[in-house]
Structure formats: structure tokens, C-alpha cells
């Protein structure tokens, strides 16, 4: 997780964001928590600089998330037979060359 700092004419706002992947595999960011502007943070946590508090809070959230993650184990049974109508291998090595073939217009020659 990281800090998003939005600077406007009259104040600075802080948010905690994280990088995620959507269902298509594209990387994007998601707002985890909006912390408020600089003055609100000073009022809630006196005696510490707002940016320093935000950094500590982001680090704490990151550590909590890491501690909650569990390793995923995929079990594979070698005794189970593969169904005859199920395709498991795909030949897609030509797709790169095929796109070049059509982009260069070689199909029209």
C-alpha cells in the first residue's frame, strides 16, 4: 500500500491506495482508505506531522495485510485420468506473426 497525496490550492489531502489487477489482467489502483486533509489529521493526531503519521499508518496497514495472506497450494492428482474431449494444450505461437502479417498488408498481395 502506498500514499496518494492530492495537493490543491488551499489544502493537502491524503489517501491510502494499493495496486490491484482487474479481471482482464490490467494493473490499476484502488483507494483503500481516505484519511482526510492535513488539518483534519493534525486535529486527530496532535504532536506529529501529518505526512509522517500517514506513512506510519500505511506501513501498519501493509504489515497487517501481509500477515493475513496465506500461501495458496494447488493440489494435483496424478492418478486422475484426463478426459478424452478436454483440450489442455494450445498452439498460439503463430498469433504474433499473424498479427504482423495482417498489419503489413501481406494478405492483400
Q: Can you give the pLDDT at residue 76?
A: 82
Residues 52-108: tens digit of each pLDDT: 999 999 999 999 998 988 888 888 888 888 788 887 777 888 888 888 888 888 888
| Domains of the chain by residue range | 2-67
Longest dimension (CA), the chain: 75
pLDDT score recorded for residue 5: 92
pLDDT at 13 over 90: yes
All 3 cell numbers of residue 77? 492428482
**Does the pLDDT of residue 18 top 90, yes or no?**
yes
pTM recorded for the entire structure: 0.59
Amino acid at each position: 500500500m502506498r500514499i496518494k497525496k492530492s495537493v490543491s490550492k488551499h489544502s493537502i489531502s491524503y489517501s491510502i491506495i494499493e495496486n490491484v489487477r482487474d479481471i482482464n489482467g490490467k494493473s490499476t489502483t484502488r483507494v483503500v482508505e481516505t484519511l482526510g486533509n492535513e488539518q483534519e489529521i493534525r486535529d486527530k493526531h496532535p504532536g506529529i506531522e501529518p505526512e509522517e503519521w500517514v506513512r506510519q499508518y500505511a506501513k501498519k496497514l501493509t504489515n497487517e495485510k501481509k500477515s493475513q495472506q496465506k500461501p495458496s497450494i494447488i493440489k494435483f492428482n496424478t492418478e486422475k485420468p484426463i478426459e478424452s474431449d478436454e483440450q489442455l494444450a494450445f498452439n498460439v505461437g503463430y498469433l504474433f506473426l499473424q498479427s504482423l502479417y495482417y498489419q503489413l498488408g501481406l494478405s492483400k498481395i
